[in-house]
Chain A
């Protein structure tokens, strides 16, 4: 299903310093324009495997577009998106990637089980136990026959997540996964995310809720299609000189607004 033989396009990244280990998710000078709008405006990323990365930023900051570029659903205006060493878009590589979209993306007429087994089949997952496990995680294993249309909004969100997990992806993109999910289950979700990361999976979670940010290993503050700052929650707090991530975000946002665009990367490189 996957194509480990695909060589990364070396020419594009020749100017970049090579990271020590092959990163799970990479972006090199990534741009995506929609007409005059720069949805992704020059993003460079090199994210090692086995960690949870939180993308934080207001609506329209380019989080979803970045995910779509990394999953190959959109092609970049310029630059390179690379997942597990393979340049995206790559259809074969998608078997190793999971994507929970912001919309639920499930079929309302179909039952919980029919939805899950449909997506599992497209990913080539035939292990029934693994599919059941995904449903157990989201506590829908008791509702296999319920049509999705009869589920509550939060349950639909959970089913959507199970559909992204059932094929045990190596890299998982979750676009606002916890919206509408009640707090108790949200805690379980994050515990599971950490278990997946401990098993070697790489997770990129977008959110505009700051209180989830602390559960990420590393944060990407995003605004206007750019990354304002990147680091562990503790580092970012320390650099901003505040205990509050929200204040930290505003600090970096003000910093980038007052400095020319080229200084953005210098700020990130600063000790």
Chain B
């Protein structure tokens, strides 16, 4: 291993990128654009007014008092309209199905100030959109019940007419998006760069110099790691930060960044994504062996990238996948990156967490396997 040769490879990659502003734009502007669009779509779905009904199935006086308090509390909230004419569960359910109601707050038959169980029912067709109104209703609920019963918090149960109440919000989606983007872009760019080395004759020429395969893979990892680092930092800053821009003349007020709350350390999130990205560098080098044109590299997207999006925990938790697909999901690197990122960003786990360490270890192992595969496909019949 010769540091000067590795440095030469790294500097060359950086110089190539500098000469290729469109690729740089793909790396830095595209993810921001897509994430901004995502944030925009998700936030606007919360902007519509939610129609809410409160049903008291218990019929006892304690329940009636809570209903009154709750109705008053909800009336003061923006974007929530309480439909006071609905009183029985069957009507409420039908109105949810007919889309005359968005959410039903139900005090079950056994409601009492002791059990304090309250159900929130939505349609379940669009968990993401339905969930946006829930936090404010929960606050109102807690306020209404606590002021009545004193002290203990109520148990709130989420249920939906269809599907499951496992709602995905921007908060839970953000970690996934961060990991996925880095994987996608790093893989595509490395795959195409290395393919060009192969078909342009420069790889042949590289291998006629004393550079070793390990030095080439390391140089590529550091060179692309450098750009991945910038990309991750930018994407994380955009997802986690939020800058409010006031209205200026005809330009309405807007915000840059999504302001997703993270409880964990962004540096650990960064570490997870970086290890994922380094694996993607080697995977790109490895798979470039099996492509003859840039177009064929793009053909790997549905084969390599999309399944990871479907199975990696993007939409469904691994445990809920069909049993045959679960082992498949467990060998995909994105699965571990998403799990680790959720642990860190949502659950606030740090490096003391066994789960995060496990995810990091698996990602490192997968990256190491890809490095081996990549080095194996850079053919020179030299040790």
A24 at interface, CB cutoff 8 A: no
Enumerate chain B residues within 8 angstroms of A46, measured Cβ to Cβ.
Answer: none
A2: nearest residue on chain B (CB-CB)?
A: B210
A147 to B205, CA, bound (A): 19
Q: Identify which of residues 233-248 in chain A touch chain B, using a CB-to-CB cut-off of 8 Å.
A: none
Q: A73-B208, A104-B201, A124-B210 are in contact. Are A118 and B8 (CB under 8 A)?
A: yes
Enumerate chain A residues within 8 angstroms of B207, measured Cβ to Cβ.
Answer: 73
B206 at interface, CB cutoff 8 A: yes
A91 and B212 form a contact (CB under 8 A): yes
Q: Identify which of residues 87-127 in chain A touch chain B, using a CB-to-CB cut-off of 8 Å.
A: 89-92, 94-95, 97, 99, 101-110, 114, 117-119, 121-124
Query: What is the predominant secondary structure among interface residues of chain A facing chain B?
Result: loop
A72 at interface, CB cutoff 8 A: yes
A99 to B203, CA, bound (A): 13
Q: Which of A1, A74, A101, A147 contacts B381 (CB 8 A)?
A: A74
B208 and A121 form a contact (CB under 8 A): no
Q: Which of B9, B12, B201, B212 contacts A110 (CB 8 A)?
A: B12
B380 and A72 form a contact (CB under 8 A): yes
Query: Quick one: which of B19, B210, B212 has the most chain A CB within 10 A?
Result: B210
A30 to B206, CA, bound (A): 24
Interface size class of B (residues with CB under 8 A): 20 to 34
Q: A74-B381, A89-B382 are in contact. Are A123 and B209 (CB under 8 A)?
A: yes
Enumerate chain B residues within 8 angstroms of A90, measured Cβ to Cβ.
Answer: 382
B19 and A110 form a contact (CB under 8 A): yes
> How close is B94's CB to chain A, nearest CB, in angstroms?
64
A75 at interface, CB cutoff 8 A: yes
Enumerate chain B residues within 8 angstroms of A95, measured Cβ to Cβ.
Answer: 209-210
Enumerate chain A residues within 8 angstroms of B202, measured Cβ to Cβ.
Answer: 105-107
Q: A72-B381, A94-B210 are in contact. Are A121 and B8 (CB under 8 A)?
A: yes
A80 at interface, CB cutoff 8 A: no
B84 at interface, CB cutoff 8 A: no
B383 at interface, CB cutoff 8 A: yes
A101 to B206, CA, bound (A): 11
B7 at interface, CB cutoff 8 A: yes
B210 and A123 form a contact (CB under 8 A): yes
Q: A72-B381, A122-B209, A123-B209 are in contact. Are A114 and B201 (CB under 8 A)?
A: no
B20 at interface, CB cutoff 8 A: yes
A144 to B204, CA, bound (A): 24
A123 to B212, CA, bound (A): 11
B12 and A73 form a contact (CB under 8 A): no
B381 and A121 form a contact (CB under 8 A): no
B5 at interface, CB cutoff 8 A: yes
Q: Identify which of residues 156-189 in chain B touch chain A, using a CB-to-CB cut-off of 8 Å.
A: none
A102 to B16, CA, bound (A): 23
A196 at interface, CB cutoff 8 A: no
B206 and A107 form a contact (CB under 8 A): no
> How close is B337's CB to chain A, nearest CB, in angstroms?
31
Number of interface residues of A (CB under 8 A): 34
Enumerate chain B residues within 8 angstroms of A71, measured Cβ to Cβ.
Answer: 208
Enumerate chain B residues within 8 angstroms of A101, measured Cβ to Cβ.
Answer: 201, 204-205, 208
A94 and B201 form a contact (CB under 8 A): no
B200 and A121 form a contact (CB under 8 A): no
B16 and A110 form a contact (CB under 8 A): yes
> How close is B40's CB to chain A, nearest CB, in angstroms?
35
A223 to B22, CA, bound (A): 47
Q: Identify which of residues 56-86 in chain A touch chain B, using a CB-to-CB cut-off of 8 Å.
A: 71-75
Enumerate chain A residues within 8 angstroms of B251, measured Cβ to Cβ.
Answer: none
B211 at interface, CB cutoff 8 A: yes
Enumerate chain B residues within 8 angstroms of A92, measured Cβ to Cβ.
Answer: 210
B208 and A103 form a contact (CB under 8 A): no
A11 to B201, CA, bound (A): 35
B125 at interface, CB cutoff 8 A: no
B12 and A107 form a contact (CB under 8 A): yes
A110: nearest residue on chain B (CB-CB)?
A: B15
A109 and B208 form a contact (CB under 8 A): no
A126 to B7, CA, bound (A): 13
Enumerate chain A residues within 8 angstroms of B204, measured Cβ to Cβ.
Answer: 73, 101, 103, 105
A89 and B380 form a contact (CB under 8 A): yes
Enumerate chain B residues within 8 angstroms of A91, measured Cβ to Cβ.
Answer: 210, 212, 382-383
B25 at interface, CB cutoff 8 A: no
A117 to B4, CA, bound (A): 12
A: residues with CB less than 8 A from B are 1, 71-75, 89-92, 94-95, 97, 99, 101-110, 114, 117-119, 121-124, 147, 163
B: residues with CB less than 8 A from A are 2, 4-5, 7-9, 11-12, 15-16, 19-20, 200-202, 204-212, 380-383
| 13 A–B pairs (Cβ distance < 8 Å), ordered by A | A89-B382, A90-B382, A91-B210, A95-B210, A99-B208, A101-B205, A103-B204, A105-B204, A122-B5, A122-B206, A122-B210, A124-B210, A147-B19
| Extra A-B contacts (12), CB below 8 Å, given A105-B204, A122-B209 | A73-B208, A73-B380, A74-B381, A91-B212, A99-B208, A101-B201, A101-B208, A103-B204, A110-B15, A114-B12, A121-B7, A124-B210
